[in-house]
Chain A
Amino acid sequence: MSESKEIEYTSLIEMHQSIIYKVIGLYVDDAEDKKDMYQEVLLQGWKSYKKFRGDAKFSTWLYKIALNTALTYRKKQNRIITEAITVLEAIDPSVEKHADENHEILFKIIKELDAVDKMIITLHLDGFKNKEVADITGINANNINVKLYRIKAVITERFKKHIS
């Protein structure tokens, strides 16, 4: 791909970086896994960018890439850490900013949900409409409301437990 494409891609990533951090934070714990997944999301994004036509929102597209990477990611115990990955230490996604206690509780509860529920609720909370959630995930749009209702009930219940 051309240099202008590279510039375009890096600028778009810079603008939407919080999506990558959010997905990584929700799906993996280990610092090395975070770096590995971070690199994988950027790589998968770059490989797929040539197919990105620009008629959809970049944030939707990046969410799709990040979630797809997270859902198919395997923690690799015997992974060989390449030199290039260590370069990423400077921007370790595990260094997330500390939010207040309620925020941390909510984040922890969502993180503990299963991979699919976590994906649906994150997209919903980030403002995606049911139709968009369906387009990103492949779930039948008619069923999303019911599912969301159940996930929210679980979250609220767990939140109350944590507080009490």
Chain B
Amino acid sequence: MSKEETNNINLLETWKELSEKKFINNPIKKEDIMKAIMNESHSDISLLKKRLKYKLFYCIGFAILFLILLLFNLSNPDLTILFGFSITAYAIAFIPMYMNYRKVDDGLSQDENILETMKRNLDTITSVLRIEKLWGMIFFIPAVIGGILLGSVQSGMSLMDCFSDTRLLLTMIGVSIVLVPLMTWGSNKANKKAYGGLIENLKNNIVRLETIG
């Protein structure tokens, strides 16, 4: 190519030549394709889906545990209320999480363009993180309060006694006041570290694609 020709580069022509020389004759073997598709995805959406699945198992596991405890303590109305409350809390956490889990899909529809996929992915990530935060609150706060109440009920106090015991009430409120912001801060920090960059990147690309002109 002469100096003049290179200065007025024919992009289409040069790209065509480049594609032929650089990317052709680099064969992919069928077995390697099969090996690749049999693996687990490392995409963020797939990893989030896996995380949700584990949390669903926790919910089911603890609900079953509390159900067994409830069945063994049917004669004690206070414990029945306590375990019943815990089962309800896990059921409340389970339903939106399960609905979210069903919605998470990292595949790409033929009719969906890249902008729509990015918007869907951003929506999925933010809603999963939101639901996980809710799950954390439902999971940990009743667990701590339940633990305090269970200890008191087993030592002979009734639930009514527990709720009228100022010291016990203050302990529960104090623990909740410390725990909720601490947990929110911790999960926000962890999520920002894990997904902050990706969310930022998705948002930027969405804005870029929408404002091109």
Q: Which A residues contact B (CB, under 8 angstroms)?
A: 6, 9-10, 13-14, 17-18, 20-22, 25, 36, 38-40, 42-48, 50-53, 56, 61, 64-65, 67-69, 71-72, 74, 76, 79, 82, 84-85, 87-88, 90-91, 93, 95-100, 102-103, 106-107, 114-116, 119-120, 125-126, 134-140, 142-144, 146-147, 152, 155-156, 159-160, 163
Q: How many residues of B contact A (CB 8 A)?
A: 58
Contact of B106 with A44 in the complex, beta carbons under 8 Å: yes
Contact of A85 with B24 in the complex, beta carbons under 8 Å: no
Q: Identify A103's interface contact among B22, B28, B37, B116, CB under 8 A.
A: B22
Find the A residue at minimum CB distance from B213: A143
- Given A68-B117, A146-B213, are A10 and B110 also a contact pair (CB < 8 Å)? no
- Given A10-B30, A74-B197, A96-B22, are A53 and B15 also a contact pair (CB < 8 Å)? no
Q: Identify A163's interface contact among B6, B21, B37, CB under 8 A.
A: B6
Interface check B75, CB cutoff 8 A: no
Contact of B109 with A21 in the complex, beta carbons under 8 Å: no
Q: How far is the CB of A11 from chain B (nearest CB, A)?
A: 8
Q: How far is the CB of A59 from chain B (nearest CB, A)?
A: 12
Contact of B113 with A99 in the complex, beta carbons under 8 Å: no
Q: How far is the CB of B33 from chain A (nearest CB, A)?
A: 5
User: How distant is the Cα of A68 from the Cα of B35 in the complex, in angstroms?
Assistant: 22
Q: How far is the CB of B205 from chain A (nearest CB, A)?
A: 6
Contact of B33 with A13 in the complex, beta carbons under 8 Å: yes
Contact pattern, B 15-33, Cβ under 8 Å of A = 1, otherwise 0: 1111101111111111011
- Given A65-B108, A72-B118, A137-B114, are A38 and B36 also a contact pair (CB < 8 Å)? yes
- Given A97-B21, A102-B14, A125-B12, are A91 and B32 also a contact pair (CB < 8 Å)? yes
Contact of A152 with B26 in the complex, beta carbons under 8 Å: no
User: How distant is the Cα of A82 from the Cα of B197 in the complex, in angstroms?
Assistant: 24
Interface check B44, CB cutoff 8 A: yes
A-B contact pairs, 19 of them (CB 8 A): A10-B34, A36-B42, A39-B39, A48-B108, A50-B107, A90-B29, A96-B22, A96-B26, A97-B25, A102-B1, A102-B14, A103-B18, A103-B22, A106-B14, A116-B209, A137-B113, A138-B113, A156-B11, A163-B7
User: How distant is the Cα of A126 from the Cα of B197 in the complex, in angstroms?
Assistant: 30
Contact of B24 with A84 in the complex, beta carbons under 8 Å: no
